[in-house]
Amino acid sequence: MRGVAALGIVLALVVMVVVLGRGKQTPPPGVPATPGGPSAVQPQPTGQGGIVVQSAVKVVVECENYESIEDKEPKSGHVVMKKGQASMGETIGYLEIPEGWIKTCGMEEDKGHPGTLPGKATYSIDLPREDTYYVFLRAKWYDSCGNSVYFRVDEGDWYPIDDTEGKIDEATYKWAWHPLREAGDPRELKLSAGKHTLTLAIKEDGPLLDKLLIATDATPPAQDSVRP
């Protein structure tokens, strides 16, 4: 009898171990097994039929987090660029080009000449690969004399970002994404892998500049999105 009881106890233990073992969930591939670990699952480039599908590149730069800035008119010391904050559900920082300083400083003549007005901010980016890139600026224009900036990559040509995105009426604009365009279409920029310097320069006064997006996708972010 004692032998049978012992066998019964052993069998019960074996059943318990099997049941407990089944209860343990193995996380699916890509999901971290430890709580609190990184939750983002990075899509990997996949090969199919010899075609390599590359993941999209998105680089976001906050305009107020510049690497260098020329924020004063050199002769008078007048402030031409300054940091600001706004609350849009969350607090966002921006770079403001105070309205009116171009006239105050008598520099209207310089507005049409890229890079001659004071007021420039630079940003350093590091691109993962050589590709065709598109540029979008999240900004709040001021009015029809405050709805543009100049942009360039490294020592390249100055391009205007100049449109009426976010326009409610002549003197009222809301925050919007402004694509860098060429004859109405998104401008294609062939950029090499590695470090590049982006520069925003004043073209008109009044705009508020939130962030720059450099992406391999030519589709602009949704107009009301704070984060692309």
**Residue 127 interacting with Ca ion (CB under 5 A):** no
Cβ nearer to Ca ion, comparing 93 with 160: 93
Q: Kindly tell me which residue out of 135, 205, 213, 214 binds Ca ion, with binding defined by CB under 5 A.
A: 205
Cβ 22 to Ca ion shortest distance, Å: 51
The total of other beta-carbon atoms located within 10 Å of residue 228's CB is 16
Q: Kindly tell me which residue out of 119, 179, 186, 206 binds Ca ion, with binding defined by CB under 5 A.
A: 206
For the CA atoms of 74, 80, 82, 84, the dihedral, rounded to the nearest 10 degrees, stands at 170
**Residue 211 interacting with Ca ion (CB under 5 A):** yes
Task: Say how many residues touch Ca ion, by CB under 5 A.
Answer: 9
Cβ 130 to Ca ion shortest distance, Å: 28
Residue 94: phi and psi, rounded to 5, are -145, 170
HEC secondary structure over 150-185: EEEECCCCCEEEECCCCEEECCEECCEEEECEECCE
Q: Kindly tell me which residue out of 210, 212, 213, 220 binds Ca ion, with binding defined by CB under 5 A.
A: 210
CA distance 21 to 112: 74
**Residue 62 interacting with Ca ion (CB under 5 A):** yes
Q: Under rule CB under 5 A, which residues in 133-152 are in contact with Ca ion?
A: 145-146
Bridge partners, residue 46, by sequence: 53
Q: Which residues, including other chains, have CB under 8 Å from residue 157's CB and lie 6 or more apart? A: none
Q: Which residues, including other chains, have CB under 8 Å from residue 107's CB and lie 6 or more apart? A: 73, 117
Residue 197 CA to its chain's centroid (Å): 15
Cβ 116 to Ca ion shortest distance, Å: 17
Instruction: Pick the stretch among 27-35, 91-99, 118-126, 177-185 that binds Ca ion (CB under 5 A).
Output: 91-99
Cβ nearer to Ca ion, comparing 70 with 96: 96
Taking residues 2 to 41 in sequence order and writing x for each that binds Ca ion by CB under 5 A, - otherwise, the string is: ----------------------------------------
Q: Residue with CB nearest Ca ion?
A: 146
**Residue 93 interacting with Ca ion (CB under 5 A):** yes
**Residue 207 interacting with Ca ion (CB under 5 A):** no
Binding site for Ca ion (CB under 5 A): 62, 93, 145-146, 204-206, 210-211
